[in-house]
A = this chain, B = another copy of it.
Amino acid sequence: MTQMPENIRLQLERLMTDYCYAVDGLQDVQPLLDIFTDDVVADFTSIGLPMMDGKGAIKNFFDGVFDEMTHHFHFISNFRPESYDGSIAVMTAYVIGMGHAADGNSVEVQVKYRFECIEQNGRWKCRHYTITPMMPLPASLDEIHGED
């Protein structure tokens, strides 16, 4: 396996950090969509949430999330390259994700993100995004994000 070049590693770390800021903005979904390719697949099934195929599905999901949540906090660290073959770069990171909904429910999860990325027009974008739980999931996760 080729080693991931430092500048690509840095760009992926920043893309994943930008994703957290975008998810936590809770108002405009566009900065969040800009993280992904048009044909992105996002697999949230291992935390009991949907499999999403294409940017439209991601928009629908997060439109719902942004409507119901009043607070979000996605804290990211433990960045680590997983693979790089010259065109596809994969990075993982750990995330503590917290949310508070308008109905008063709160949730906290400890998960791993995996971003499989390619370069488009000089900018790295995620084309496959997976969330994997690292600690047992709270029951409140389904109550909060699972209804829409």
Q: List the interface of chain A (C-beta within 8 A of B).
A: 14, 17-18, 20-21, 24, 71-80, 94, 96, 98, 100, 106, 110, 134-136
Contact = CB atoms under 8 A, between A and B. Distances in A.
Secondary structure call for the A interface: strand
16 contacts: A20-B78, A21-B78, A21-B80, A24-B134, A71-B136, A72-B134, A73-B110, A73-B134, A74-B78, A75-B77, A75-B96, A96-B96, A98-B110, A98-B135, A106-B135, A106-B136
- List the number of copies, as a whole number: 3
A135 B78 CA distance: 21
A135 B75 contact: no
Contacts of A80: 14, 17-18, 21
